[in-house]
Chain A
């Protein structure tokens, strides 16, 4: 199989605080993990691509100092939303990909609400 988990599934935080979201590949080694954001009725928007052991590559318009990504091992990547604001409220989804494979397997997503 190819199972990807995300934690937490839902989080509510106050404006100005930081939130960490974990993405784990449970039964395979993920050399690459992707982080997406999806607003209601919109498509998935790629935020950044992370390869194990190296710095993440951020898409244009995504602030790397605000969205900190760490891919410290072949099974774990984390996204930290720093100094969250209400406009950061969204559905954050990670995906993971095996080495030399093209298909991505998605985690269940994290719904972030910033009050």
Chain B
């Protein structure tokens, strides 16, 4: 089965750093994805981790520990436009399972 846990809401200040954690329990694990979803829109792909460690991509970084079933998304230099839901997603080649998402509010 698939089970993904992440906080439902977070608030952070513009210019700051925020870390969104995700724990997962899945069968047939083949990678951990992070997607960003603004209200009323479809998700956009942010990152994909298949090996342990940190993947950095501009202001966004994603970390994975397979032994702990744990990942986080790190957002640096927060901007107001980063206010969105961040979906942790685990799965394999034929199927992925999405968490409910963490709604991040960036405040001035």
Contacts and interface: CB of A to CB of B under 8 A. Distances in A.
Interface of A: 6, 32, 42-46, 49, 57, 91, 93, 102-109, 111
B95 A49 contact: yes
Given A43-B99, A103-B33, 14 more contacts: A43-B98, A43-B100, A43-B101, A45-B98, A46-B97, A93-B42, A102-B33, A102-B48, A102-B93, A104-B45, A106-B43, A108-B41, A109-B42, A111-B40
B43 to A, nearest CB: 5
Contacts of B42: 6, 93, 106-109
A102 B97 CA distance: 13
A57 B98 CA distance: 18
A48 to B, nearest CB: 10
16 contacts: A6-B42, A32-B94, A42-B100, A44-B87, A44-B98, A45-B98, A46-B95, A46-B96, A49-B95, A93-B42, A102-B33, A102-B93, A103-B33, A103-B48, A105-B45, A109-B41
Contacts of B105: none
Tell me the dominant secondary structure on chain A's binding face. Answer: strand
Interface string B19-57: 000000000001101010000111111001010000000
B44 A106 contact: yes
A111 B41 CA distance: 10
Contacts of A91: 40
A57 B93 CA distance: 14
A71 B95 CA distance: 17
